[in-house]
C-alpha cells in the first residue's frame, strides 16, 4: 500500500480553510488511518485517529473524513500555529506503519 498526499505544499492566509488529501493505492480500513502534524523542529503529534476521531486537546477546527482509498484532513479557520507538515498514516499489521509523503501548509 502506498499513500499519496496532495498537494505537496499549500500557502494560505489566516482564517482560510485547507483540505489535505491522502489517497491510498488500494482500499484500506479507515480504522487504521491517522493524521499527524509536525511543526518545524518538533516531533510529530497525533491529530486524528480512525480517519475522523480527533485526539485529545486537538482543536475542533481539525477534522478528518473519508473512506475506501480517499481521505481528507480539513483545517477550518487557519491560524499561524497551523504552519506545519501534515502526514497521513496507515497501519498494515503485516508491514508496519506506512506514511504518506506529507503536505506542507504555510500560513
Partner 1 sequence: QVELVESGGGVVQPGRSLRLSCTASGFNLSFYGMHWVRQAPGKGLEWVAVIGVDESHKNYGDSVKGRFTVSRDKPSNTLFLQLNSLTVEDTATYYCAREKGLFVDYWGQGALVTVSS
Q: Using CB under 8 A, list all residues that contact partner 1.
A: 31-32, 34, 36, 38, 42-46, 49-50, 55, 85, 87, 89, 91, 95-102
| Shortest CB 100 distance to partner 1, Å | 8
Give the Cα separation of 83 and 10 in Å (integer).
10
Run of H or E residues at 20? strand 18-24
Sign of dihedral through CA atoms 10, 83, 16, 3? positive
Q: How far is the CB of 75 from partner 1 (least distance, A)?
A: 19
Q: Cβ closer to partner 1: 66 or 100? A: 100
List the strands of the sheet with 70-75, edge to edge. Answer: 3-6, 18-24, 70-75, 62-67
Minimal distance in Å, beta carbon 13 to partner 1?
26
Q: Are 31 and 50 in contact (CB under 8 A)?
A: yes
| Nearest to partner 1 of 13, 57 (CB atom) | 57
Kindly tell me which of 51 and 75 has the beta carbon lying closer to partner 1.
51
Residue number with CB closer to partner 1 (19 or 50): 50
Amino acid at each position: 500500500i502506498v499513500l499519496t498526499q496532495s498537494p505537496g505544499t499549500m500557502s494560505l492566509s489566516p482564517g482560510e480553510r485547507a483540505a489535505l488529501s491522502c489517497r491510498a493505492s488500494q482500499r484500506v480500513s479507515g480504522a487504521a488511518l491517522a493524521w499527524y502534524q509536525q511543526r518545524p523542529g518538533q516531533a510529530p503529534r497525533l491529530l486524528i485517529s480512525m480517519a475522523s476521531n480527533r485526539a485529545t486537546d486537538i482543536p475542533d477546527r481539525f477534522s478528518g473524513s473519508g473512506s475506501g482509498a480517499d481521505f481528507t484532513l480539513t483545517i477550518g479557520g487557519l491560524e499561524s500555529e497551523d504552519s506545519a507538515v501534515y502526514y497521513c498514516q496507515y497501519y498494515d499489521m503485516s508491514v508496519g506503519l506506512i506514511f504518506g509523503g506529507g503536505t506542507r501548509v504555510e500560513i
